[in-house]
Structure 1
Amino acid sequence: MAGLATCCSTLSSTSHVAVSWLEFQAHHSGRRTAWKPSRWRNANGIRAEVKFVKPDEVKKLVTEEGYAVVDVRDRTQFERARIKSCYHVPLFIENKDNDFGTIVLRTVHNNFSGLFFGLPFTKPNPEFTESVKNQFSAGSKLLLVCQEGLRSAAAANKLEKAGFENIACITSGLQSVPPGTFDSEGKTELQDAGKAGLVTVQGKISAVLGAVLICAFLFITFFPDQAEKLLELAPTS
Structure 2
Amino acid sequence: MRILLVEDNADLADAIVRRMRRSGHAVDWQADGTRAAGVLRYASYDLVVLDIGLPGQDGMRVLSGLRGRGDDTPVLMLTARDGIEDRVAALDVGADDYLAKPFDFREFEARCRVLLRRSRGQASAALQIGTLTFDSAAHRVTLDGQALELPNREFRLLEILLGKLGQVVSKEEIGNGLYGFDDTSGPNAIELYVGRLRKRLGERPLRIVTVRGAGYRAEAAADGAADA
Quickly name the TM-score band, shorter chain normalised. Answer: under 0.3
| The structure with more strand, counted as a fraction of residues | 2
Structure showing greater radius of gyration is: 1
TM, length-normalised to structure 2: 0.24
Q: Which has the higher contact order (CA 8 A, sep 6+)?
A: 1
